[in-house]
Amino acid sequence: MASDEVDTAPGGGNDSTTGAPVVVVTGASAGVGRASAIAFARRGYRVALIARGRAGLDGARGEVESAGSEASIIEADTADADRIFAAADQVVDRWGRIDVWVNNAMATVVGPVDATLPAEFRRVTEVTYLGAIHGTLAALRHMRPRDRGTIVQVGSALAYRSIPLQSAYCGAKAAIRGFTDSLRSELLHDRSRVRITMVQLPGVNTPQFDWSHMHEPFHHRPVGGCWQPEVIAKRIVDAAERAPRELWIGSSTIQSIVGNFVAPGLLDRYLARKAYDQQLSSRPVLPGDPDILYQPANADHGARGRFSAQAKTRSIDVDPAYLRGGLALSLLAALGAAFLWRRQ
């Protein structure tokens, strides 16, 4: 697909040594990606927005520019490696460098494993997991020669603790974590100053709950705590600048990960009893409802979804690197186990 990056965005020129830092955000047309793009703009970054849907990209560009920054848009599917490599080249041709790359694009299918088609598993994997690999490789091509830059992998508590009805998405997020750990060791081996960090997210109030590919009669909803995307976006910007090994965002993320370390079997049984109803809303799936698994959204959906009434506007986060020593880990484990017992 075509990009209007050079022709219509303000500014221009190859500025490799001066000017504001440059961030690339995939999945930037809506949800967490869009909120993150705006948060980076407010922090003084020039922002390149990558997504499939032109309407959402145009809306995101308007908000980034309203935040006082330069924005450029590139229509691309993260499943297409060549397009993502070309997008990175376009950003560098215009602004001279890439300082931060945020791999955020995702897709999900909601339904039992044996109701999910092989093509649907493939599509979720190509967008969510391979999309993160394509973005990482594109970023490394430009960061390695400069020996600087930060790659942010947007993960999920589900990278550690899978839930029923979302096997394709959970598998993709777990795969990103494995890939990232491998790359991190390679960067350390090479004494590279390129940094990589992964943020594990809780449920977020985004439009995805109205356009996911459904095999259930009702649209899905966030499980556990739900946060506004702007809260998460601020943590993503912080992670990009501090580059912790990982950042666990939100109390439900911390509880899920720690609980899974302590009592995975207990969680298996708890989720088997509770997670089906917890994931499904009262809103029925109707013919003609949006479904963006294979096609982009044809409207600008913004950053927020329809769960604002229950979404939290403040969050805690934990850098697990600080969980050193048996006492600290045991304390968190006990808290996680106590939480699970209370929820039964």
DSSP assignments along 152-197, one per residue: EEEEEGGGTS--TT-HHHHHHHHHHHHHHHHHHHHHHHTT---EEE
Residue 224 has a pLDDT of 79
- Please list the pLDDT of the chain residue by residue as tens digits (344 residues): 344 443 333 333 444 556 899 999 999 999 999 999 999 999 999 999 999 999 999 999 999 999 999 999 999 999 999 999 999 999 999 999 999 999 999 999 999 999 999 999 999 999 999 999 999 999 999 999 999 999 999 999 999 999 999 999 999 999 999 999 999 999 999 999 999 999 999 999 999 999 999 999 999 999 878 999 999 999 999 999 999 999 999 999 999 999 998 899 999 999 999 999 999 999 999 999 999 999 998 899 999 999 999 999 999 888 888 765 444 566 666 666 666 666 55
**Catalytic, out of 45, 129, 160, 169:** 169
What are the two backbone dihedrals, phi and then psi, of residue 310, each rounded to the nearest 5 degrees? Answer: -110, -5
Residue with tokens 């989720």: 271
Say if CB 223 and CB 204 are below 8 A apart: no
Helix (H) or strand (E) holding 26: strand 22-26
What pLDDT score was predicted for residue 335? 67
What tokens were used for 80?
Answer: 């297409």
CA distance 165 to 276: 7
Joined tokens for residue 252:
């439900």
- Nearest Cα to Cα of residue 265 among 173, 172, 170, 337: 337
- Please name the helix (run of DSSP H) or strand (run of DSSP E) that holds residue 38, with its range, or none: helix 31-42
For residue 19, the model assigns a pLDDT of: 87
The answer to whether residues 124 and 168 touch, using CB atoms and an 8 Å cutoff, is yes
Any idea where the domains of the chain sit in the sequence? 5-343
Residue 13: the pLDDT is 41
The pLDDT score that the predictor gives to residue 2 is 40
- pLDDT score recorded for residue 344: 56
The predicted structure's pLDDT at residue 318:
87
List the structure tokens of 307.
């769960």
Q: What is the pLDDT of residue 239?
A: 97
Annotated catalytic, 270? no
Q: Which two tokens stand for residue 229?
A: 């995307």
| Bridge partners for 214 per DSSP | 110
The helix/strand count (H/E) of the chain reads as: 12, 14
Domain 5-343 has CATH 2.60.120.560: no
Name the residue among 9, 20, 49 with its Cα closest to residue 33: 49
Residue 223's pLDDT is 86
The answer to whether residues 224 and 249 touch, using CB atoms and an 8 Å cutoff, is no
Tokens encoding 173: 């997020």
Q: Which amino acid, residue 92? A: V
Asked whether the beta carbons of 204 and 312 are under 8 A apart, the reply is no
- Find the helix or strand (DSSP H, E) in which 249 lies: strand 246-249
Q: Which residue has the tokens 């509880």?
A: 255
